[in-house]
């Protein structure tokens, strides 16, 4: 678990990965099956804390030697996912496309993969873990994407560098060939349970600890304003990384297009056929 947090949090981090080369059709299958297999870990639901207000007097936390004001927080816990959108960022792994001007196929390869990471929505403790193989040449997917509150909040990251085994492709005559890396993440829109929390000297008290809220007139009033109604539900949207074996989920794509530039056409293409 620590390695996943480290790889997601450091700029230009190198993490060991095996090469996986799939097609664009495979990618659509992967996205579809990640979406369909999405599940929330009931025992470890993702959550976030959001500061709402600073309340209370100088000694509001009940200690004469403390000047720690009380903070009112909202704790939002993801309960239901109404819309799951699987996305990815992509990065060209070759410094420039391979253009085959020869009359026979030529191999090309990529040894390093670069892909842009998307940061977790601020304040959330969340991560998605792929269990088992999903999509691509492995056949019918059997994996499951489980989202839980087990990853630390991610800082904004612009790029990760991932060491790969050589990912290879074959570029046919007259074609322009590419190798890209895709890194997957998800955006979920759903419903969250919202619970008021009192942060008093870094100790968190929920509504069932009314005696903690009674230390100060202001916090006591907040208990009356927020707690008797019970937990409420609100709309929420959260973005998070998808991990695979504790590293960001990455796939290599080798693809090509027929070059429309006359100067790249192999001479053998223009040779007249037999009479």
pLDDT given at position 230: 66
Query: For residues 148 and 246, which has the higher predicted lDDT (pLDDT)?
Result: 148
Q: Mean pLDDT for the chain?
A: 76
Query: For residues 262 and 55, which has the higher predicted lDDT (pLDDT)?
Result: 55
Mean pLDDT is highest, among 60-64, 132-136, 165-169, for 165-169
pLDDT given at position 141: 52
Res. 32: pLDDT tops 70: yes
CA pair distance 43, 149, nearest whole angstrom: 9
**pLDDT-derived band of residue 26, with 50, 70 and 90 as boundaries?**
confident
Per-residue burial over 52-87, b = 16 or more CB atoms within 10 Å of its CB, e = otherwise: eeebbeeebbbeeeeebbbbbbbbbbbbebeebebe
pLDDT given at position 66: 60
Pairing of strands 14-17, 160-171: parallel
Question: pTM for this structure?
Answer: 0.74
**pLDDT-derived band of residue 40, with 50, 70 and 90 as boundaries?**
very high
Domain range list for the chain? 2-268
Let me know how long the chain is. Answer: 275
**pLDDT-derived band of residue 189, with 50, 70 and 90 as boundaries?**
very high
Res. 260: pLDDT tops 90: no
The whole-number average pLDDT for the span 168-182 is 84
pLDDT given at position 221: 86
**pLDDT-derived band of residue 160, with 50, 70 and 90 as boundaries?**
low
């Amino acid at each position: 678990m620590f390695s996943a947090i480290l790889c997601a949090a450091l700029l230009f981090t190198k993490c060991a990965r095996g090469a996986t080369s799939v097609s664009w059709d495979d990618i659509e299958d992967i996205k579809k099956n990640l979406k369909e297999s999405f599940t929330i870990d009931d025992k470890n639901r993702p959550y976030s804390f959001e500061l709402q207000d600073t309340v209370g007097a100088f000694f509001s936390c009940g200690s004469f030697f403390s000047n720690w004001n009380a903070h009112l927080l909202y704790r939002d816990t993801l309960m239901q996912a109404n819309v799951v959108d699987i996305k990815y960022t992509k990065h060209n792994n070759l410094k420039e496309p391979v253009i085959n001007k020869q009359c026979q196929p030529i191999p090309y390869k990529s040894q390093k993969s670069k892909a842009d990471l998307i940061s977790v929505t601020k304040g959330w403790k969340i991560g998605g873990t792929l269990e088992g193989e999903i999509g691509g040449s492995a056949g019918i997917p059997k994996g499951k994407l489980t989202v839980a509150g087990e990853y630390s909040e991610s800082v904004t990251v612009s790029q990760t560098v991932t060491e790969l085994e050589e990912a290879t492709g074959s570029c046919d005559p007259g074609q322009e060939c590419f190798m890209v890396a895709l890194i997957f993440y998800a955006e979920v829109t759903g419903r969250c349970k919202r619970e008021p929390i009192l942060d008093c000297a870094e100790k968190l008290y929920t509504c069932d600890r009314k005696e903690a809220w009674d230390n100060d007139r202001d916090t006591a009033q907040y208990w009356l304003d927020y707690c008797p109604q019970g937990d409420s539900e609100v709309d929420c949207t959260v973005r998070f990384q998808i991990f695979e074996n504790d590293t960001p989920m990455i796939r290599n794509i080798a693809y090509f297009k027929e070059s429309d530039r006359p100067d790249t056409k192999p001479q053998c293409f223009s040779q007249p056929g037999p009479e």
